[in-house]
Structure 1
Amino acid sequence: PGSAGAPADPGEWILGAAPERAAATGGAGAGGADPLKRVRGAAKAWQRRFGLGLLLGALAVGSSVGLMAVSGWLISRASEHPPVLYLMVAVTATRAFGMGRAVFRYAERLVSHDAVLRMLADLRVGVYRGLERIAPAGLRAQRRGDLLTRLVADADALQDYWLRWLLPVGTAVLVGTGSVAFTAWLLPEAGAVLAAGLLAAGVGVPLLSAVCARRTERRLAPARGELATRVADLLTGTAELTVAGALAGRKDAAQRSDRTLTGIAARAAAVTGLGSGLSALVCGLTVVCAAAVGANAVAGGRLAGVAMAVVVLTPLAAFEAVTGLPLAVQYRQRVRRSAERLYEVIDAPVPVVEPERPEQLPASPFPLRLTGLTARHPGQERDALRGLDLTLEAGRRIAVVGPSGAGKTTLAQVLLRFLDQHEGSYTLGGTNARVVDGDDVRRIVGLCAQDAHIFDSSVRENLRLARTGASEEQLRDALAAARLLEWADGLPDGLDTLVGEHGERISGGQRQRLALARALLADFPVLVLDEPAEHLDLATADALTADLLAATEGRTTVLITHRLAGLEAVDEVLVLDRGAVVQRGTHAELAAVEGPLRRLLERERAADGTLAEFHQARLSPPKRTN
C-alpha cells in the first residue's frame, strides 16, 4: 500500500541500491552512503501523505496560536463592555480555533502514523529480505542478541525520523513564520522580539542539545544491543554456566551492561531536561520582552490597548512549535545511529548472488561436480577452500575429514549455495549452480547439520517440517531408518509428545537422530551430513555414525566429520587441511599408507585409548594398602 509511485516490491526501498552495489563491489561501497539520506528516500513513495500530515500539524499548532491570540483580544475587548454583537466574530473564532486544534491534531496523528506504520511494515519486509540475502554465511560475525536488537529496535527507531524530527521541524518553520508575520503586522518590534526568541529556542537550544547529546546518543543503541546479547547468552546458557561455575560472573556482566545502558539513558534524559528548561527560559524572556515593547507602544499610541494581550499571548502559544525541537534533534541523532547499525547488517557483502532470470535444473542433478573450486567467506582475505575437485554420482557416498578449520563446513555451505565459489565451477547435471535459484538447489541438496534446530513442538510436527503432508507410515519409516522408532513408541503421547525448546526434553543423541529422520523424510537426492555426531560422547557418536551410514546406504551422501570410525562404509574419503585436499581415496587405501589420514587415525585411537583408561581408572576401586 502507498501512494502512486510506491515500489512494486514492498520493502525494497529500505535496501536502496545496496544489493546491487554489494553484488558489484562486495558490499564495500554501500556503507558509505549517508544513512539519513537513504532513510529519507523512503518518503518519496509517501510524499503526499507526509505533506498532508505536515499541513495538518501546522494547522493544529496554528489553531493554538490563533486561539490564544483571539482569546486575549476577546477578554480585553469584553472588559470595555461593548455590545455583544461586536464580540460575536471573536467568540465564533475562539470556538473554531478550539475545535480546530483538536480536529487537526487528531487528523495529523491519523495521517502521519498511517504513513509511517505502512512504511515500517515495508521496512521490516525489506530488512528480512536483506537478511535472507546474506544468511547464514554473511552473519558469522553477528551476535544473536545484538542482531535481534538491530532488526527490531533499530528498525522501529527509524519511524522517529519522520514523526519526531521532520514533522516537528516543518511545523515549527510554518507556524513560527506565520506567528512572526502576524505579530510584526501588529507591532514590528514585537515581531522582531518573537523572531529572536523563536530562533534562540528553535535553533540555538537544539544545537546546544545536539552537541551535548552527540556522544550519548551514539552509544545508546550499541549499549542496548550489548545488553540484549548478555541477556540472551545468560538465558540460553544457564545450565552450562551453572555447571562451569560461571553463572555469577555472567550475571555480573549483564548487570554491568544494564548499569551502562541506564547511565547512558540518564545522561540522554538530562540533556532532554536541559533543552526543555532552556526553551522554557527563552519563552519566558520572549514574553517579558514582548510585553515591554507592547507597553511602550501602547504608551506611545502606536498600539491599541486591546491588542496588548495579543502581543503578549501570541509568543506564549507560538513557542509550542519549537519547545520540542531539542528533543527532536536527539531523536535525529538516535535515528542516525540506528540506521547505521541496521545498514551495517543489510549492506554486508552478499555471499550468494541470485540470478535475475534463474534457469531450471535438469531432471537429474547428477553428476554433481565441483571443479577447481575456491571459496572464501565475506570479509575474509584467506580462502577457506582452494582448488577442490569433487564428483558425486547417484548413490555415491563420500566422507570429508580433517582438523577444525580445514574448510569442511565451508564445503557444505557451497554445496547448498549458502556461499558462492570465488573461483572454479559447481554444476548439477551439467547446469551451473550459479544460474539456478538457491531454493531450487536446496531442494536437491539437503543438510543435516550438527546444530540442527529442534522446534518447541511435538515429534510429529518437527518431522513434518520436511514434508508437510507426510503420512503416519512415512513418519514411522523415517524414524525407523534413524533408529528412533522404538524410542518414539515409548513416549507418553507417541509422536505427539512435546520435545521442548531446542529439544531440551530429549537427549543429545535423540536430537541428532530426530534431525536425521527429518532429513531422510525430505528425501533429498543429495544429503549433506555436517558433523552429525558432534557434542556426543564417543560411544553414542560412533553408534550414530554407524546408524546414519546404514540409513543412507544407496543415497548420494556427503558425510562431514572429524571422527574416522566407521568410514570403511563410504566410497571415498577426502582429507582436507587448510582448505585444500591433501589426500583422497578409499578408507582402506589411505589407512594403509603413511599420510594425513593415517596420522589422524593414530591420534584418534590414542585419544580414545587415553579416554578409555581414564574411565577405567575412575570405575576401578582403589587398591588397599597395608
Structure 2
Amino acid sequence: MTTTRQPGTPATTRRRMSARVVWAVLAGAAAELAGVGLTASAAWLITTAAQQPPLAALSVAIVAVRAFATSKGVFRYAERLTGHDVALRAQAATRERLYESLIPPKQPRHGGADLLSRMVDDTDAVQDLLVRCLLPATAALITGVTAVVVAFAVHPGTAPVLLAGLVVAGVLLPAGTAAAARRWSARIAPARAALAERVADLVHGSADLAAYGAGGRALTDALDADAALSSLERRQARVHAAALAIGVLVQGLTVVAIVWLAQSTGAGSVATAVLALTALVSFEPVLPLAAAGERYAGIAAALRRLKEIGSVPPAVTEPAAPAALPDGPLTVEIDDLVVRHARPAAPNPASAEGQGTDARGTPAAAVDGVSLTLTPGKRVALVGPSGAGKSTLLAALMRLVEPESGAIRVNGVDIADLDSDDVRTLMTGLTQDPYIFQTTLRDNLRLAGPASTPDEREQAVRRARLDRWVARTGWDAELGEDGRTVSGGQLQRLALARALLYDPPVLLLDEPAEALDEATADELMTDLLDVTHGRTTLLVTHRLKGLEHVDEIVVLEQGRVVQRGHHDDLVSEPGYYRDLWQSEALVSG
C-alpha cells in the first residue's frame, strides 16, 4: 500500500531541520565562547587577586567565572543533543532515499556487499558532514573572531599574531590535510566494499568453495583485500597524526609570540596573562579542523558514491499524477506487449532470460507482441522453455520493467498511469528469487499479512505444503540471512505461503513447484490449483501435471505466443507443449 503524504510536509520538515541546525551551530559557538570567557575572566581574576585588591573589585570576575563555567556545560549539552539529532535524522532520510532509489529495481550495477557498504558506511558520511565538519567549523570561526577582537581590545599589537596563527591552524592546515587525504580517500570506500564482498563470499559460499577446493584462494583474496584497506587506513592515520602535531606546534608558537610581544611592549602582567590564556584556549575549537579537513575528503567520496546510485535511471517511469485504482472485479488486458531489456554493459548474449542480442547487437525483445486477457476468476498457465519471456511478462505486470510498446490495462486503465506501488497491490505473488528475512518464521509470514490471524497463517502454510516442517521447527524458528538455513524447496514454499496470505486480486505465481521433489511438487500443484479455483491467477510453470484444470494455456517461445488453448487441445497439436507432455509421461511411466 502507498503512504499518503500530507501537502507541505517535506517543506515543513526542511524548515524544522534548518532550525535545528541553526540552534546547534549557535549552541556550539556559545559553548566555545563560554570557554574563552571562562579562561579570560579566570586569568584576570587570578592575576588581579595576586595584587590583593578589595574583594568588591573581584566580585564581577567571580560571578563571570561561575556563569561561564555553568553556561559552557549547558550549551555543550544542547549542541551535542541538537547536533546529533539533526545528523541522525539526515542520515535516516538519506538511507530512506537510497532504499527508494532501489525500488523498483534499477539496472544492477553494484553487488550486494558493495550496496551494503554504501548503505552503512557511506551514509555515515551525512552524519559526519554535520557533526565533524559543519558544526566545528562554524564554532571555530565564531570563537576565533571573538578571540581576535578580545586580543585587539587588550593589546592591539597581538591581534595580528593571533589571527595569523588561527588562519594557519584553522584554514591552511585543514586545506592541506584535505588535499593529501583526497589522493587516496576515494580509494578507501571501494577498498572497504571489496573487502566486504570477499568476506561475504567466504561466509555465504563456504560450502561451494570447499566443494570445489577454492577455499584457499578465496581466503587469500580476502586477506589481500584486507591488506590493501589496512595500508590505505595507515596512511590516513599518519596524516592525521602529523596534522595534529603541526597544529599543536602552531598553537604553542603563537602563544609564545604573543607573550613575547606583550612583554616587550610593556604590557602589564594581567594583560599578558589574559592574552596568553585567551590565545591558548582559542585554538581549542580550531585544532580539530585539521581532522575535519581530512574527513571531508572521505565524506566527499562517499557522497559521490551515493550519488552514483541515485543517478541510475529507474526501471519504470512514474506518472506525474497517478490515476485512481480501479474498483470491483479486475479484468487485465495485455495488448501487443513488447519488452526489450536495456543493452548489457558487456556482450553477454544469453546471460538472463530474454537478454540476448541480434546480429546488430540490439537487445532482443524478451516479450514480443504478447496479447492476453485475464477475466475475473480466470486461470492461465504460461508454459515455455527457459528464456521464453515468461518471468519478464510477470515483471511487466508488476511494473518492474518498462514496456517498449503495447499496453497493460486493468479495467481499462493503463497501469503506466498508476503508481507502481498501487499496481503491485493489485497484481503480485510469488516471483523468482524471493527474499527471506533473518527473523522468525512467523515474522516472515506477517510481512505479507501484518493483520493476519494465527488461523490464517496456519492455513497458508498448509496450502503451501509447509505444515509438517512448521510442526517440527515451530513458528519461532529463526531463519538465516536470505533463507540460507532452509532448503530451496522450503524457501519456495514459504514464499508461496506469503503470496497466498497476501491474497492479491490477481495472483502471479512464478514456478511455485521449483526446487521440490517430484512427489511434493505434484501434491503442491494439485493443492494450488484447488486453492486458486475461482480466483484470477497467472501461473508460470515448467510442469504440466494438473494443467488440464486451468482455463487457458499459453505457450511462449522467444517472447512470442506460439500456442494457446486448453490442455486437451494442445496435447493433440505438434509443438513444444505436446513434446513436453510426452516426455513427462515417459519419465513418470
**1:245 maps onto 2:213 in alignment:** yes
1:103 maps to a residue whose letter is V
* Match for residue 574 of structure 1 among 555, 578, 585: 555
Query: Partner of 2:564 in structure 1?
Result: 585
Per mean C-alpha deviation after superposition, the further-off stretch among 114-123 and 272-281 is: 114-123
Query: Partner of 2:347 in structure 1?
Result: none
* Match for residue 137 of structure 1 among 105, 118, 137: 105
* Match for residue 34 of structure 2 among 47, 51, 63: 63
Query: Partner of 1:342 in structure 2?
Result: 306
1:415 maps to a residue whose letter is L
Q: Which runs of 5+ in 1 are unaligned?
A: 1-5, 14-41, 613-626
State how far apart, in whole Å, the 2-side matches of 1:512 and 1:567 are.
20
Q: Write the deviation string for residues 340-360 of structure 1: whole angstroms up to 9, x where unpaired.
A: 223333443222344434312
* Match for residue 409 of structure 2 among 424, 427, 430: 427
Query: Partner of 1:558 in structure 2?
Result: 538
C-alpha contact 2:383 2:390 (8 A) present in aligned 1: yes
C-alpha contact 2:441 2:479 (8 A) present in aligned 1: no
Mapping 1:400-439, distance limit 5 Å: 400-404=383-387, 406-439=388-421
Q: Write the deviation string for residues 169-218 of structure 1: whole angstroms up to 9, x where unpaired.
A: 11121111121122123333311111111111111111110111113322
Mapping 1:150-549, distance limit 5 Å: 150-298=118-266, 303-355=267-319, 356-366=321-331, 368-377=332-341, 382=363, 383-393=365-375, 394-404=377-387, 406-454=388-436, 465-467=447-449, 478=460, 481-483=463-465, 487=468, 491-492=471-472, 496=475, 498=477, 500-501=479-480, 507-536=487-516, 548=528
Q: 1:473 to 1:539 in 2, by over 3 A?
A: closer
SS of the aligned residue for 1:138 comes to: coil
Per mean C-alpha deviation after superposition, the further-off stretch among 495-504 and 434-443 is: 495-504
Q: 1:569 to 1:326 in 2, by over 3 A?
A: same
State how far apart, in whole Å, the 2-side matches of 1:124 and 1:438 are.
21
C-alpha contact 2:492 2:514 (8 A) present in aligned 1: no
Q: TM-score, normalised by structure 2?
A: 0.82
Q: Write the deviation string for residues 587-614 of structure 1: whole angstroms up to 9, x where unpaired.
A: 7777777767788889x88xx99xx9xx
Query: Partner of 1:24 in structure 2?
Result: none
Q: 1:127 to 1:517 in 2, by over 3 A?
A: closer
Pairwise CA distance, 1:581: 0.8
SS of the aligned residue for 2:106 comes to: helix
C-alpha contact 1:397 1:555 (8 A) present in aligned 2: no
Pairwise CA distance, 1:267: 2.2
State how far apart, in whole Å, the 1-side matches of 2:449 and 2:291 are.
53
C-alpha contact 2:381 2:547 (8 A) present in aligned 1: no
State how far apart, in whole Å, the 2-side matches of 1:369 and 1:583 are.
19
State how far apart, in whole Å, the 2-side matches of 1:286 and 1:396 are.
84
State how far apart, in whole Å, the 2-side matches of 1:472 and 1:591 are.
43
Pairwise CA distance, 1:108: 2.0
Pairwise CA distance, 1:467: 4.6
SS of the aligned residue for 1:159 comes to: helix
C-alpha contact 1:582 1:596 (8 A) present in aligned 2: no
Query: Partner of 1:619 in structure 2?
Result: none
Mapping 1:112-131, distance limit 5 Å: 112-128=83-99, 130-131=100-101
State how far apart, in whole Å, the 1-side matches of 2:30 and 2:439 are.
54
State how far apart, in whole Å, the 1-side matches of 2:177 and 2:446 are.
56
Query: Partner of 1:621 in structure 2?
Result: none
C-alpha contact 2:461 2:494 (8 A) present in aligned 1: yes
2:295 maps to a residue whose letter is Y
Pairwise CA distance, 1:546: 6.3
SS of the aligned residue for 1:451 comes to: coil
C-alpha contact 1:417 1:438 (8 A) present in aligned 2: yes
Q: 1:77 to 1:181 in 2, by over 3 A?
A: same
State how far apart, in whole Å, the 1-side matches of 2:36 and 2:444 are.
63
Q: What is the aligned-residue identity percentage?
A: 38
C-alpha contact 2:437 2:483 (8 A) present in aligned 1: yes
State how far apart, in whole Å, the 2-side matches of 1:201 and 1:332 are.
16
Pairwise CA distance, 1:569: 6.2
Q: TM-score, normalised by structure 1?
A: 0.77
SS of the aligned residue for 2:556 comes to: strand
SS of the aligned residue for 2:247 comes to: helix
Q: 1:94 to 1:466 in 2, by over 3 A?
A: closer
SS of the aligned residue for 1:374 comes to: strand
| Count of residues in Structure 1 that have an aligned counterpart in Structure 2 | 560
SS of the aligned residue for 2:287 comes to: coil
C-alpha contact 2:457 2:501 (8 A) present in aligned 1: yes
Q: 1:528 to 1:179 in 2, by over 3 A?
A: same
Pairwise CA distance, 1:542: 6.6
Q: Which runs of 5+ in 2 are unaligned?
A: 1-5, 345-361
2:316 maps to a residue whose letter is V
Pairwise CA distance, 1:425: 0.7
SS of the aligned residue for 1:424 comes to: strand
Per mean C-alpha deviation after superposition, the further-off stretch among 509-518 and 154-163 is: 509-518
State how far apart, in whole Å, the 2-side matches of 1:563 and 1:362 are.
34
2:154 maps to a residue whose letter is L
State how far apart, in whole Å, the 2-side matches of 1:448 and 1:236 are.
24
State how far apart, in whole Å, the 1-side matches of 2:516 and 2:74 are.
67
2:136 maps to a residue whose letter is P
State how far apart, in whole Å, the 1-side matches of 2:526 and 2:384 are.
16
* Match for residue 76 of structure 1 among 33, 47, 68: 47
Per mean C-alpha deviation after superposition, the further-off stretch among 242-251 and 429-438 is: 242-251
C-alpha contact 2:389 2:556 (8 A) present in aligned 1: no
SS of the aligned residue for 2:372 comes to: strand
SS of the aligned residue for 2:554 comes to: strand
